[in-house]
């Protein structure tokens, strides 16, 4: 079970959740983030993606 709750997996789950919110917003199925603040969603997706890749490299080098 520890394999699915380590920091790399948690960042991946967060990234997938942000991507799901972004996809649903683009298809106009949900709209709970106001458009004036929506720039945060793609930036947070890209930052969690970069963080996830960095954590994969760190875990691989251990």
Tens-digit pLDDT profile for residues 9-25:
999 999 999 999 999 99
Give the pLDDT score at 59: 87
pTM of the model: 0.86
Q: For 1-62, where are the alpha helices, taking DSSP H only?
A: 7-26, 40-61
Tokens of residue 27, six digits: 């298809």
Give the pLDDT score at 4: 83
CA torsion, points 1, 9, 14, 11, in degrees to nearest 10? 140
Give the pLDDT score at 27: 93
Provide the mean pLDDT of the chain.
91
- Sequence-separated (6 or more) residues with CB below 8 Å from residue 9: 3
């Amino acid at each position: 079970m520890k394999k699915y709750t380590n920091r790399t997996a948690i960042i991946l789950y967060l990234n997938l959740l942000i991507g799901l919110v972004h996809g649903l917003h683009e298809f106009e199925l949900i709209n709970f983030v106001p458009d004036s603040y929506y720039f945060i969603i793609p930036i947070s997706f890209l930052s969690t993606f970069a963080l996830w890749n960095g954590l994969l490299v760190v875990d691989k080098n251990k």
